[in-house]
Each structure stands twice: as C-alpha cells, then as structure tokens.
Amino acid sequence: MPKPAKGARLGGSAAHEKLLLANLAKSLFEHGRITTTEAKARRLRPYAERLVTKAKKGDLHNRRQVLSVITDKSIVHTLFTEIGPRYENRPGGYTRITKIGNRRGDNAPMAVIELVEALTVAQQATGEAEAATKRAAKDTEAPKAEVVEDAAPAAAEGDESKDA
C-alpha cells in the first residue's frame, strides 16, 4: 500500500511536489542560497543533502541519478566538480536554514537555506591547534590531581602518628 511522504505536504500532487523540490535544489546549487518558506526549506534540506552526498562519490552511476532529478547539465557539472569536492571531508550537514520572519503579504514564515561553506585550510589548522591545546591542558591537569591525592594520604599518616 502506498505511504505518504514524510514531512509537510507542499500542496498539489506528488508529481508537483517532486518537481518543486527538484527546482528548489537546482536554484540552491546554482545560487548557493535561496529564500523560501520554512516548510519548503525543511523539505528541501534532506533532498539536497542526498544530492551532495551523491556528488561527493562522483561516479557515473551517481551522476546519472542526479541528472534524473536535476536536468540542467551545467548545474550538475557544478555540483560534481565544485560543490561535491568542497565537502569531501565533511560527513554531512551541508546546508543551513535560517529563519527570517514572516512574509509581508500572507504572513507565511520565511527562511533562507544556504550551502554551508567548507572549512578552509587555515580554519582546519586552527581547529587542530585548539584541539591539541585542549589535550595538553587535560594532560597537565591529570598529574596535578594525582599529586594532590598522594599528598593527602601522607598527611593522614602523619596525623595517625601524632595520635599514637
């Protein structure tokens, strides 16, 4: 038995919803960010992230699968040559949704969905340096705690000798 799609219904038929998501994804990959309703942005996010994951794999099978969704070859080329490699080391979370308030005419909640920029080499180096600093701080704190524990039993032994 057919099951309805998860998430908010975007109106119209299933075919209309499929084309709507494909066109939103096409615009997102073309421009990098788009403004749409929150419901459409929430439905677009997993759809677009699956396409980026296919672009990261980069083989012919995945390219043909993406071409069946996004029919513009230039955008698919951009997706596979620029966007996919940009997120090569990122395990997911390629998009960000930011709420921007309600639309003036019908008070519909609006949002901006955008591709998250991949970390640059400098940002990665900074992150690694911070992680190393945190590890070093933990390593220096651990011996101090051991020294305090060693001093406490020695003081306790000295107290026992005074009582005797």
Give me the architecture of the 14-117 domain, per CATH: Alpha-Beta Complex (3.90)
Q: Which structure tokens are listed for 29?
A: 């990959």
Which DSSP state fits 104?
T
**Residue range 60-73, pLDDT digits in tens:** 999 999 999 999 99
Q: Would the pTM of this model clear 0.85, i.e. be above it?
A: no
Q: What percent of the chain has pLDDT over 90?
A: 60
**Residue range 77-135, pLDDT digits in tens:** 999 999 999 999 999 999 999 999 999 999 999 999 999 985 556 666 676 777 778 77
Measured CA to CA in angstroms, residue 7 lies from 31, 44, 151, 153 at distances of: 25, 10, 61, 62
Interatomic CA distance for residues 41 and 31, integer angstroms: 15
Q: Which structure tokens are listed for 54?
A: 């296919």
Whether the CB-CB separation of 112 and 35 falls below 8 Å is answered with: yes
Collapsing DSSP to helix, strand or coil, 34 comes out as strand
Measured CA to CA in angstroms, residue 142 lies from 7, 116, 134, 137, 146 at distances of: 48, 37, 12, 9, 7
